[in-house]
Amino acid sequence: MITRRSPASAGRSTLAAPPRPSLAVLCGVLVLAALWRGWLGPALDVAAVRTGATVFVAVCVQALPFLVLGVVVSGAIAAIVPAGLTRRLLPRNEIAAVGVAGLAGIALPGCECASVPVARRLMRQGVPVPVALAFLLAAPAVNPVVLVATAVAFPGVPSLVLARFLGSLGTSVVVGWLWARFGREEWVAGRAVVPDRPSGSRWAVFVATARSDLVDSGGFLVLGASAAACLNVLLPSSWLWAVGRSPVLGVVVLAVLAVVLALCSAADSFVAASLATLPLLPRLVFLVVGPAVDVKLIALQAGTFGRAFAARFAPLTFVVAVCVSVAVGLCVLGGYR
């Protein structure tokens, strides 16, 4: 069972943290790029770089609106919701609270990037870590926007929509339960769970919280998008499609592909639908694994909750998502088809 930290230094608001030098470094890089654009243009005008740049921009454009939504919700929670209220509304039994948090993910119509700052804000409001993690995994995959997009991408296959909902909900709940049983307090960075002590008007608290969360999360979104772009260019897609035709390799390859492509959960169903030569089961695995763990999400989680957390949470989520989606697919879809 995980308990929240209560260090004596919790009284200091994280909103008052000193500015980081990363912004100055970014501005310096942009200035140098502008000065050297005459030399950089021809040097970077190659097919692989153009493809990588396209993937990078696509991932950022897909994720940024939902990331903004997440930090807005995070700021609203900090400014409006009294400290401890969210925790009091949840069942006292942590196992039951994890299930409630999984179902509560229906209420946030965003992608996985939006759920990270919201989950951190819930932790700072006193919600136990496993409960917040269950919400983090459920929100991007069980909300109505994602389910409707899946139904549109797979017309006439309502069983796949149901299977995605059950697989994603099951993944969030199982991971939450496992973290409650085996997780340790020191795996989560202290900055993620130490409660804020903000001062000022509600509007000032909202603006400061949203700005802080956006700066913290935005940089790691860029790192994750960069990793996705590099992997898309370097990995041979022809090899992936070839081995994806085998039942066992098909599940493994589509799961890895979901991690590598780092698609938005509101758009990944259309990519899965385009893989019409593959059976439904590996495509279901693709749809369940993607919103739960991908390269940009790993980067966001490492920056938000610490590298020790991401190093344990990402592999656990990957294994659980694959196992749960395969089990649900065999039951709901009627086997490997």
Read off the pTM. 0.71
The whole-number pLDDT of residue 227 equals 64
Whether the predicted pLDDT of 134 surpasses 90: yes
Categorize the per-residue pLDDT at 288 as very low, low, confident or very high, splitting at 50, 70 and 90: very high
Whether the predicted pLDDT of 250 surpasses 90: no
Q: How far apart are CA 249 and CA 152, in angstroms?
A: 27
- C-beta separation of 159 from 37 below 8 A: no
User: Which stretch, 67-76, 240-249, 266-275, has highest mean pLDDT?
Assistant: 266-275
Categorize the per-residue pLDDT at 293 as very low, low, confident or very high, splitting at 50, 70 and 90: very high
Categorize the per-residue pLDDT at 224 as very low, low, confident or very high, splitting at 50, 70 and 90: low
> Furthest-apart CA pair in the chain: how many Å?
63
3-state secondary structure the chain: CCCCCCCHHHHCCHHHCCCCCHHHHHHHHHHHHHHCHHHHHHHHCCHHHHHHHHHHHHHHHHHHHHHHHHHHHHHHHHHHCCCCHHHHHCCCCHHHHHHHHHHHHHHCCCCHHHHHHHHHHHHHCCCCHHHHHHHHHHHHHHCHHHHHHHHHHCCCCHHHHHHHHHHHHHHHHHHHHHHHHHCCHHHCCHHHHCCCCCCCCHHHHHHHHHHHHHHHHHHHHHHHHHHHHHHHHHCCHHHHHHHCCCHHHHHHHHHHHHHHHCCCCCCHHHHHHHCCCCCHHHHHHHHHHHHHCCHHHHHHHHHHHCHHHHHHHHHHHHHHHHHHHHHHHHHHCCCCC
User: Which stretch, 59-63, 67-71, 184-188, has highest mean pLDDT?
Assistant: 184-188
